A and B are shown apart, each in its own frame.
Chain A
Amino acid sequence: MTRLSTRRGFLALAAAGATAGCLGRGNGFWDDPPAFDRSGLESVTDRPVPDRPAVIPVTLTEAQRGTLRERVESRLATIPDPLTAEVLPNGTIREAIVDHRAEARSALGRMRSASTTVETVEAAADAAAHAGRAAAAWAAVLVDRSPADVVLTDAQADERVQRAERALPGRAADAQSAIVVYGVLESWLSEASHHRLAGGTRSPLRVGRDAATNERAWAWTTAAPFVRARYESSLADPEPFGDALEDAVATLAEPTRERLVEFRRSESADMLYRQPDRDALVERDVRRGEPGMALLGEKLDEVYPDYHLRTVVWSEQRSYPAYRLRETHWVYAALDALETVIARIEDGADLFPSDAAAVRSVRREATDAVDVLAGSNRPLERFVASRLARTLTEADEALTDSDSDKRTIASVYGEYVWARLVADATPAATETIASALE
């Protein structure tokens, strides 16, 4: 995540805190916020965040990176440069093409400077999407060229995604490694298949938008077998784990349902996998805008993306077993953390720190907990450490970038609390997944 989007995210969370909570009466929390002693706030982030463990333990070859890069460059080469008003008078179409060409080039730059395989592929996918969008929009205004001449058609993208899906998961060092490594690849394909549902009219801008999803799918379906080949060849004795993962998905379906029932006892079966109403989870009469409620709402959004536990295991689903197990592991830990947040709110905590020392203390607890996970010999725990290290980094950036107003401080403090709680809950979640794999 870029620094800009990180800051935007925290500002959004801080803003959410301003309106969070519809239960309270009288004055809102931010109408008369508590005092905050800022002494020492500038040094709260001095201790570094633990290094993020590599999710994929291999890199792409230069030839593989070249394949991803060449596709982008060849799409961009179909567009006149510069693209002037004399060539394309419609300013909206012209600027869209020029902007997406620039975005594609920027993403190629990120691809070159990426330090991990995941970052490399995600930058390549961004570059492919922007280049495809620009090239397809340009092709759509030409009498002698069709978008299908320069980007994947829907059918071609579908076929590539399906073929890539059939090849996963590949062989791995152990079952948890299979979940982590192939979980990433399957998440790419899952996103590609979801985005592939998009349709649209034939205006050049719509054509470009659809092309972006197809070209992103091209990058993911190209990178997935590259990563698989590199990973398998790095192992002395790789073993297949596809059946084991699918069996674990089936084994976990019922316990996962029961865990969701435990989290929301009064909820009907068909609502279990949908995002609960935040306010209904708390019985105490909270004040409008309490930071704890803002944190709860933010994390519910994170645990239930698009308001659903879409990727968690349920029923007899067999698709994307690695990705589903990885996310189910995360959800088990996150549900524990959510329950702790709810319990603290019920106990009267507003989750607003009284001073910089409190922020420093909870951050230290969080970094220590993440450090322990990062050093674990269990791949699932190292994956969670990588995820939480990113959360900590983003929180640090928000604290450093902002003018450190109280709302931002409250949001950052909440993120530190969350990272600590999830890290603490992760070993139990790992046990659950490991038992299902046995």
Chain B
Amino acid sequence: MSPTRRQVLRGAVPAVLGLTGCVSSDGPDNDGDDDSSRREDDRAAVEDSGRVSDPSVVKPRNPDGRRVLDPPEDEYGVGFLVGSTETAEALRFQPGVPSADVTATREFLAATDFTEETVYVTHIRPRSCYQYRIHSVTWQYSDVEYEYCRELRSPDEQCVADTRVGMALCFRLPAVVDMDVHSGGSSGRFPCEGSTTDYAVIESNATVGGTTTTEDTAGEDR
């Protein structure tokens, strides 16, 4: 690993914490109230290779269909790791990414404790009117993979049929992960089983208005 990459990954962090175990929690989605305690539990049981169920993830979109985030220098693979506050702050968003998505992603990165956590970023191009639910993420050697399901977005979310958007999947890994990401993959199902999405959201005699925010999907999932 080059010094540049090491700096990118670790930034000012003086040492990698000794972490053991592998997370495989199948607990319910977290609304954020006990996020810190959940992350504490995760950290207590993670090592450099591992798997996390229901990971913290933020999913900013780019309606233009292009990437959402420019990777750090020399990081043009299947995805990249963000291992320091400096690297996180240096990330640049592509023009066209809604400000709500930028804000949500910045907040997600700012809330990450890079002394004990790493963010993995990869890009996909989903159909505009569909959303991804992430079930797990696994990292080992130079490979990061995730499991997901795909389902229709809420009826009141503005989207265009048969149009693809750019989307960054930003996973918070509960470990300081120090590796070159050479390969990545995903496996998924459609539609999501046991979805709790409430689709009955429109008044029959009302107009919901054409909001363009993507805040709901860019917001952090736990």
- Residues of A participating in the B interface, judged by any CB pair closer than 8 Å: 85-96, 140-145, 201-206
Closest approach, in angstroms, between the C-beta of A95 and any C-beta of chain B? Answer: 4
Pick 10 A–B contacts, CB within 8 A, sort by A: A85-B158, A88-B208, A92-B152, A92-B159, A93-B129, A93-B152, A95-B162, A140-B200, A142-B200, A206-B191
Chain B, Cβ-Cβ closest to A79:
B204
Shortest CB distance B207–A (Å): 5
B179-219 CB contact bits vs A (8 Å, 1 = yes)?
00000000000011101010111111001111100000000
When distances are taken between beta carbons in the complex, the residues of chain A under 8 Å from B210 are 85-86, 89
Q: Which 8 A-B pairs have the closest CB atoms?
A: A92-B129, A141-B155, A91-B161, A89-B158, A95-B161, A92-B161, A91-B160, A203-B152
The residues of B that contact A140 with a CB separation of less than 8 Å are: 199-200
Q: Is B222 an interface residue (CB 8 A)?
A: no
Partner of A144 from B151, B191, B203 at Cβ < 8 Å: B203
Report if A141-B202 is in contact (Cβ < 8 Å); known contacts: A92-B127, A93-B129, A204-B152: yes
CA distance A202 to B201 in the complex (A): 13
Determine which of B128, B152, B193, B202 lies in contact with A88 in the assembled complex, contact meaning CB atoms within 8 Å.
B202
Over the window 146-174 of chain B, the binary record of Cβ atoms lying under 8 Å from chain A Cβ atoms (1 yes, 0 no) is 00000111111111111100000000000
Chain B residues positioned under 8 Å from A85 (CB to CB):
158, 210
When chains A and B are docked, how far (Å) is the Cα of A425 from the Cα of B128?
A: 55
Shortest distance in angstroms between B189's beta carbon and chain A's nearest beta carbon?
A: 11
CA distance A206 to B154 in the complex (A): 14
A204 nearest in chain B by CB position: B199
Residues in chain B near residue A95, CB distance under 8 A: 161-162
- When chains A and B are docked, how far (Å) is the Cα of A85 from the Cα of B212? 11
A358 to B8, CA, bound (A): 76
A205 proximity list for chain B (CB < 8 A): 152
**A98: nearest chain-B partner, CB-CB:** B161
Chain B residues, Cβ within 8 Å of A201: 151, 191-193, 195
CA distance A60 to B161 in the complex (A): 40
- Residue in A86, A141, A203 whose beta carbon sits within 8 Å of that of B209 in the complex: A86
Residue count of chain B within 8 Å CB distance of chain A:
33
> What residues make up the interface of B, taking CB atoms closer than 8 Å to A?
127-130, 151-163, 191-193, 195, 197, 199-204, 207-211
- Rounded to whole angstroms, the CA-CA distance of A91 and B199 in the bound complex is 14
Give chain B nearest CB distance to A362 CB in angstroms. Answer: 44
Report the Cα distance A94→B155, complex, angstroms.
Answer: 8
- Chain A nearest CB, measured from B167 CB (Å): 16
Q: How far is the CA of A206 from the CA of B207 in the complex (A)?
A: 24
User: Which residues from A are CB-within-8-Å of B157?
Assistant: 89-90
Chain A residues near B128 (CB-CB < 8 A): 91-92
11 new A-B pairs (CB below 8 Å) besides A86-B207, A91-B129, A91-B161?
A85-B210, A86-B209, A87-B207, A89-B158, A92-B127, A95-B161, A142-B204, A143-B203, A144-B204, A201-B193, A204-B199
Q: Which residues of A contact B159 (CB under 8 A)?
A: 89-92
Q: Which residues on the A side are within 8 Å of B200 (C-beta)?
A: 140-143
Q: Which of A86, A91, A94, A203 contacts B195 (CB 8 A)?
A: A203
Judge whether A203 and B202 touch: CB under 8 Å: no
Q: How far is the CA of A27 from the CA of B199 in the complex (A)?
A: 56
Q: How many Å from the CB of B52 to the closest CB on chain A?
A: 26
Nearest A residue (CB) for B191: A201
B155 contact from A144, A145, A202, A204, Cβ within 8 A: A204
Instruction: Give the CA-CA distance A143 to B155 in the complex, in Å.
Output: 11
Q: How far is the CB of A103 from chain B (nearest CB, A)?
A: 16
Residues of B within 8 A of A144 (CB): 203-204
- Give the one of A89, A96, A201 with max B CB within 10 A: A89
| Contact for A89 among B151, B155, B162, B197, CB less than 8 A | B155
| Also in contact, A141 and B158, with CB within 8 A (given A87-B207, A92-B129) | no
CB-nearest residue of chain A relative to B128?
Answer: A91
The answer to whether A90 and B153 touch (CB under 8 A), given A95-B161, A201-B195, is yes
Task: Tell me whether A141 and B201 are in contact (CB under 8 A).
Answer: yes
A123 to chain B, nearest CB (A): 27
Known: A91-B160, A92-B159. A142 touches B129 (CB 8 A): no
Residues on A with beta carbons closer than 8 Å to the beta carbon of B197 = 203
Most buried by B among A90, A91, A204, A205: A90
Chain A nearest CB from B151 CB (Å) reads 6
Q: Which residue of B lies closest to A92 (CB)?
A: B129
CA distance A203 to B201 in the complex (A): 12
Chain B proximity of A176: nearest CB distance (Å): 48
A202 to B158 Cα, complex, angstroms: 20
Chain B residues positioned under 8 Å from A90 (CB to CB) = 129, 152-159
* Bound complex: CA A96 to CA B195 (Å): 21
> A9–B72 Cα gap in the complex (Å)?
52
Instruction: Find chain B residues with CB under 8 A from A86 CB.
Output: 207-210
Is the CB–CB distance between B152 and A89 below 8 Å?
Answer: no
Query: When chains A and B are docked, how far (Å) is the Cα of A205 from the Cα of B161?
Result: 13
* Beta-carbon contact of B204 and A93 below 8 Å: no
Pairwise interchain contact B199-A89, C-beta atoms closer than 8 A: no
Contact: A94 with B199, CB < 8 Å?
A: no
Contact A141 B161 (CB under 8 A): no
- Bound together, the chains give a CA A250 to CA B157 distance in angstroms of 58
> Which one of A87, A94, A142 lies within 8 Å of B161 (CB-CB)?
A94
- Residue of B159, B192, B195 ringed by the most chain A CB atoms within 10 A: B159
Residues of A within 8 A of B202 (CB): 87-88, 141-143
> B155 contacts A93, CB within 8 Å?
yes
Complex CA–CA separation, A143 to B203 (angstroms):
6
